[in-house]
A and B are shown apart, each in its own frame.
Chain A
């Protein structure tokens, strides 16, 4: 079992470009969560998805950010027209039965906007 796989590990984008972050949950896990972590801070919730459905996107900025978890393939977090303030570590977590039972985290994608 490969665990939660995130790629790329590091991503550098120029201001105005698009960033696309991928997350493959653990085998058997249908719940996917995206969090953002700024340096020296905790994790901030962004979005919770199940296959083909966004369950809770209350932590997502209203503009430029979107997420999906298609029937086939990984979950994608997309950031359009990136700005310097988007620089952060983005973590994906998955769960078999939901957040109540705990998460398995990926190693994160470190996005740097230059």
Chain B
């Protein structure tokens, strides 16, 4: 399996509910980043969490990082139809530090009005 695997692959919820997406990775990281991609568009950077941080907030987004389990979660609270998109985690691996980010396969989130 690959670095940065998201779980679930697809998630469908109702407006107002919370959406939780998970990401697992295999080797040591400098940081982990979450991106959002609307259909047919480029990715947009959402939030970055460093390896020495455990939790970070940005508006309705909450990201956690557990380096002992090599996993991260992205929580979107009070979801809106406009949150419908694919969400990707990307890892800055120590072994490739600064050279590139490694992306997972993504979670497709659908928020129904």
A residues at B contact (CB < 8 Å): 4, 33, 35, 41-45, 48, 55-56, 59, 91, 93, 98-108
Q: Are A42 and B98 in contact (CB under 8 A)?
A: no
- As a 0/1 sequence over residues 4 to 35 of chain B, the CB contacts with chain A under 8 angstroms (1 = contact) are 10000000000000000000000000110101
Report Cα–Cα, A98/B97, bound state, in Å: 9
B109 to chain A, nearest CB (A): 14
Give chain B's interface residue range (CB within 8 Å of chain A): 20 to 34
Report Cα–Cα, A103/B45, bound state, in Å: 7
Q: Are A33 and B97 in contact (CB under 8 A)?
A: no
- Contact residue among A4, A93, A100, A105 (Cβ-Cβ distance under 8 Å from B30): A100
Q: Are B42 and A99 in contact (CB under 8 A)?
A: no
Q: Are A99 and B92 in contact (CB under 8 A)?
A: yes
CB contacts (< 8 Å) of A98 on chain B: these are 98
Report Cα–Cα, A93/B101, bound state, in Å: 11
